[in-house]
Copies of this chain bind each other. A is one copy, B any other.
């Protein structure tokens, strides 16, 4: 026998999470998650899932029937959209203005699709004119894919305008709402979004590990008309829905064992969002951003994204000349228990990302962050 390692219980410290996610989790969510595990086919659990579905629909502002939480993180939510909708040889216009647009491109290629990339600079919003030109130049494109809120840069793109363009050109839209859901205006039905995915660990302030997704009736029709099988068994929505939706005889069929306790947590976080109200949550993020913004600018920090395209919940600022990135973040973490995010991709070593997400978008967090930054930068 290989010997058993002797390991102590893990005792994480209480951090204040102001990076790009995971965000500070609501105490009620941590409590909900530790309630007793029950069976994934228990009638009481199934009732909880029906409620959860209606809460996800509310957060997305949709009545889409195919609305659920993928049993895995946001990246799996992204993959769920691409593997279910895009068939080999189909063309997808992919907007790339940061890490996650590039990840979309990789997803398109891994399902055998053809990605036509529309590039914008890192930190810019997606340019609707460039997208319109690409749609004109590629009349055979079947999809338009873009990131609503780029977590790598803090840029917000105009999802409403982009989805309208997609419709004009008979394309289905695939939208990354990982960082936008709950933090800024997002209206799936009104804007005509066809497939959308998010993550639990951003503005929902739930534990990381789940990805709410929703497919419009047109997307479901496309999925049902596939000529080839979905390449992923685990993410095949036609199978997953046999569990999430009861069949006509009221039965649910086993697909995989649902992550029971994580779903308790998501139920609670979305319940808190519904109790606050979406519009008030959006406003709170905008308000806290204003306070943070003034403070950061007073410290002489410059935003990566121009004011008009700036996300309230993800504030990317350039690291001042001569400042040691890693050292500052280490001081914040060790002396203040405060986590802010490093730059990612093209912004690695050049920017910090300060998150104001969900439960984290509060005055006390903003005040702590500003004072701690003032002290460590002094």
Contact = CB atoms under 8 A, between A and B. Distances in A.
A50 to B, nearest CB: 10
20 contacts: A2-B57, A5-B51, A7-B54, A10-B268, A12-B38, A12-B44, A15-B37, A15-B42, A17-B38, A22-B37, A31-B34, A33-B261, A43-B333, A71-B76, A72-B234, A79-B233, A207-B259, A207-B260, A207-B261, A208-B261
A330 to B, nearest CB: 9
Interface of A: 1-7, 9-15, 17, 19, 21-22, 24-25, 28, 30-45, 48, 51, 54-55, 57-58, 61-63, 71-76, 78-79, 103, 106-107, 109-111, 189, 199, 201, 207-209, 229-234, 254-262, 264-265, 267-268, 271, 274-275, 277-279, 333, 339, 342, 344
Given A61-B2, A234-B75, A339-B42, A37 B25 contact: yes
A125 B1 CA distance: 26
A271 B30 CA distance: 21
Given A38-B12, A45-B12, A107-B233, A256 B207 contact: no
Contacts of A1: 61, 278-279
Given A12-B45, A14-B36, A110-B232, 17 more contacts: A2-B61, A2-B63, A5-B274, A7-B54, A10-B48, A15-B39, A31-B34, A33-B33, A33-B261, A74-B256, A75-B233, A75-B255, A76-B234, A110-B230, A207-B261, A208-B260, A209-B259
Given A208-B260, A268-B10, A274-B5, A231 B110 contact: yes
A208 B45 CA distance: 14
A32 B10 contact: yes
A83 to B, nearest CB: 8
A262 B78 CA distance: 21
B38 A111 contact: no
B9 A271 contact: yes
Given A9-B32, A21-B257, A71-B73, A209 B262 contact: yes
Contacts of A76: 71-72, 76, 234, 256
Contacts of A109: 229
| Nearest 8 Cβ contacts at the A-B interface | A209-B259, A34-B34, A72-B72, A4-B274, A75-B256, A207-B261, A30-B34, A208-B257
Nearest to A15: B38
A84 B198 CA distance: 26
A22 B61 contact: no
A2 B189 CA distance: 10
A16 B7 CA distance: 29
Contacts of A9: 28, 32, 268, 271
Contacts of A31: 34
Contacts of A339: 38-39, 42
B233 A103 contact: yes
Given A2-B58, A37-B22, A72-B71, A13 B208 contact: no
Contacts of A5: 51, 54-55, 58, 274
A37 B207 contact: yes
A45 to B, nearest CB: 7
Nearest to A187: B1
Contacts of A12: 35-38, 44-45, 48, 264
Contacts of A274: 4-7
Nearest to A82: B233
